Amino acid sequence: MPNRTAVLPRPNVPTRCRRTAGRVAGSYAVVAAAAVAALGLAACGSDVEDLPSEPPPVVDDRPDEEPEPGDAVGDVDDPDTADGEVAPEAPLPEPDLTVAVTLTEVATLGEPTAGAVGPDGVLYLADRAGTVHPLTADGAGEPVVDLSAETTTRSERGLLGLAFAPDGSELYLSSTDRDGASVLTAIAVVDGEIRPEQRRTLFRLAQPYANHNGGDLHVGPDGRLYLGLGDGGSAGDPLDAGQDLSTPLGALLRIDPLAGDPYAVPSSNPFVDVDDAAPEIVAYGLRNPWRFSFDPVTDEVWIADVGQDRREEINRVAFEDLPGANFGWNRMEGTLPFEGEEPADHVPPVYEYETRGPEGCAVTGGVVYRGDAIPELTGVYLYADYCNGTVRGLVVDADGEVVEQAGLGIDGGQVVAFVVDADGEVYVLDLGGAVRRIDPS
């Protein structure tokens, strides 16, 4: 969870377990030896190895040539554009953060942490202890997956994210195993039915500390799978992972589980040809990207990065600008210097607020509202803070300038995530157990 109390002693001599095969020199086990001994985490010599054990294959996703005029989808077959005329769209109202809304409790779990819509249109919810449940008209249904014997909820660990393959063939789970490592698991979905007995491990990364695991998981507009990982934990980034391209820690990763065994990386990932860089990295310089999301209309990426002591930050970048983006940690904390000089390529946040200030102490990123029930919130980024349950709205213009930010007058409790159903309506997940939908009042 995005909690500020799990700070462990800084190791005297952090060590990295490096693999030497291929282009990428073992970036997958960044382990602080003293912390491993203290915490009992998997060390370099553990019987359970990090995955993949060899560099993943690269799948070509760069077009050979630019499309010719007239090749765009809809130029011929779309009845609205075939005659050169575009059907007018109904104008949307201007965002109104004073709109009256309420929270409707629709289910309870032990500790809900994430959710995603399956190929059957059902919203599935993750419980931190390791189970996945369909949301029904009567609340949370019986678990369809149970990893509780394989995970731990100590500190900021547990089942932290889930997503479905774009073709509906697999369910992806992001969790922490009993050794404290971050694990990606793929579970087969056959004819819309989740088959937990048919599973494979995609990725495993030993974590040097119990906090800053990140763990959020989404399929992007390009159909690739994105995973957010924190800087490895403790405080202040003692491993300098945020600016170290040789480790997946402190970064947003992009992989294609359907194109390789256990996965492939897209050729457009920015560091696939950089010596010693982790080819999965698509963006870096993150402390703990506990929650991120894609705007389903604009494809923009929103990343909320939990701060150290001074700034909680919300980042927004265009999808085409995401590859190679450096969000600054640990040289920067938001717009403030933290350690060293500001990177020349630093992408500053579009919004930040004071850590332990009136807005809270640990930002919980949310989603851009694109539902129909509350048109006044269309295009508004919804978020909260783990230490202050007020659900807030943020309006940012095309130039990245904040137009408005305000509380919506509803309290979601210990908010750890926002999830979206098949209709685009938004649910607030309270670590205390409640799953609540944002409805018009």
pLDDT over 90 at 29, yes or no = no
Cβ atoms of residues 410 and 438 within 8 Å: yes
Lowest mean pLDDT among 35-44, 47-56, 161-170: 35-44
Lowest mean pLDDT among 5-19, 43-57, 383-397: 5-19
- How many domains does one find in the chain? 1
Q: How many CB atoms are located within 10 Å of the residue 407 CB?
A: 14
Answer whether residue 2 is part of any domain.
Answer: no
- State the average pLDDT over residues 142-164: 95
pLDDT band at 53 (very low <50, low <70, confident <90, very high): confident
pLDDT over 50 at 76, yes or no = no
Closest CA to 435 of 143, 125, 216: 125
Residue owning tokens 């575009």: 86
Lowest mean pLDDT among 203-217, 276-290, 388-402: 203-217
Distance from C-alpha of 401 to C-alpha of 415, rounded to nearest angstrom: 26
Exposure class string for 98-121: b at 16+ Cβ within 10 A, else e: ebebebeebbebbbbbbbbbbbee
Strand pairing category for 265-266 and 58-59:
parallel
Answer whether residue 72 is part of any domain.
Answer: no
- State the average pLDDT over residues 375-389: 97
Could you tell me the CATH number of the domain that includes residue 137? 2.120.10.30
Contacts of 399 (CB under 8 A, 6+ apart): none
Answer whether residue 4 is part of any domain.
Answer: no
Answer whether residue 99 is part of any domain.
Answer: no
pLDDT band at 137 (very low <50, low <70, confident <90, very high): very high
Q: What is the pLDDT of residue 209?
A: 87
The average confidence (pLDDT) of the chain is: 87
Say what percent of the chain tops pLDDT 90: 77
Q: What is the pLDDT of residue 82?
A: 46
Answer whether residue 279 is part of any domain.
Answer: yes
DSSP assignment of 69-85, as one string?
Answer: TT-STTSSS-TTTTTS-
pLDDT band at 341 (very low <50, low <70, confident <90, very high): very high
| Structural domain for 322, as ranges | 108-440
Selected residue with higher pLDDT from 20 and 118:
118
Lowest mean pLDDT among 22-31, 77-86, 114-123, 392-401: 22-31
- State the average pLDDT over residues 138-151: 97
pLDDT band at 50 (very low <50, low <70, confident <90, very high): confident
Distance from C-alpha of 134 to C-alpha of 122, rounded to nearest angstrom: 7
Answer whether residue 392 is part of any domain.
Answer: yes
Answer whether residue 71 is part of any domain.
Answer: no
Q: What is the pLDDT of residue 13?
A: 25
Distance from C-alpha of 162 to C-alpha of 185, rounded to nearest angstrom: 9
Q: What is the pLDDT of residue 83?
A: 55
Answer whether residue 287 is part of any domain.
Answer: yes
Cβ atoms of residues 18 and 27 within 8 Å: yes
> Residue 229: phi, psi to the nearest 5?
-125, 140
- State the average pLDDT over residues 325-346: 97
**Residue 172 φ/ψ region, left for φ over 0, alpha for ψ in the -120 to 50 degree band, beta for the rest:** beta
